[in-house]
Structure 1
């Protein structure tokens, strides 16, 4: 007797030997190979930084993409479970910008086109924000000219957005000011000269960073 690999049901098998017959019932059931292949824990997130932790499934049956759901627990604050929003055939993700340090545990379910399901529990840890720094790479902002509109950007790194900028020491060229957000020195300079000043950036997590800059205004 040959049984098809896709067969489901029962069959009676009989054998006779020396006039004695014995029978047995063989039951064939389907077995789904669907599984979630991504390991737990997911890669750590960091407060204030964009995050995407992908979760993948394999070996589903039936037609159509894997359908995803969050069935237990929660993802960290500021992040979201993407579910089916990625429009990928067998992948979902946890995405967003984490807002605080924490570790959470959550369970996701994958369902294939044949109705088979697989679940897996994940842990995701959020680390503290990176140290806040000013990343202009130089303390010399570009030159300006008297009577010509001027703008130079100030760049933060690390920390937790949003950021707020201010001048805390020194002298800006007359006619220029520091814009709080986004960080910029801008305006129309009125007096030639070389000016040195210090700016500070504050983030929403309480970190600060400061740096001294120089601007030369040409006649």
Structure 2
């Protein structure tokens, strides 16, 4: 075989090797790209889940949601895996005990798409580095938050948050009538008893469903008055409603000697 033939064969071999290596590298890049992308989505999802749990934990302890200024300090990481800050959207009424906090509210003004009574939403802009959900910045919001499929989102309903905060027992912030019993009366003597409420969202509206005939109730002052003619035990049922539509009822036995 001539030297020129050997050189031609060697050159052909090198070209073939180069093409094979190039193909392998291209295939590797093609395979690695989606894996890297998936890993970033997975890690960002974990970051959002951890952020959601941090907000819930803080809220359970404090009886209200954190505001946008407090939010970043609560998180293990306040940025997603692309390095972009998480967006925190919430109902402002849930951030203050004066407006009911968590346990005192019956509803919110925040919707996530068609999901009513949403407490808060946390959003990552994901791969395109842009939050497409509206609104796209952290803060209080009243209205419908428009979901975007390009974003990674976690949201929590008010009912879920209240369940985790233990709001359905006799808990701080829950609307309740404070009186454990009514003052006793004496037959033939004018009687007065005052009712007190706490929690929920003031102001309160009072009414009664059960009263003895000799007893009157003033809903403006939450006061019972009257003069019992005879001794005995009388059933009294009172109901209070707060400004957010929360209600609670208690029944008492009023003893007259």
Instruction: Assess same fold via TM > 0.5.
Output: no
Question: What range describes the TM-score normalised by the shorter chain of this pair?
Answer: 0.3 to 0.5
More helix by share: 2
Q: TM-score, normalised by structure 1?
A: 0.41
| Structure 2 length-normalised TM | 0.36
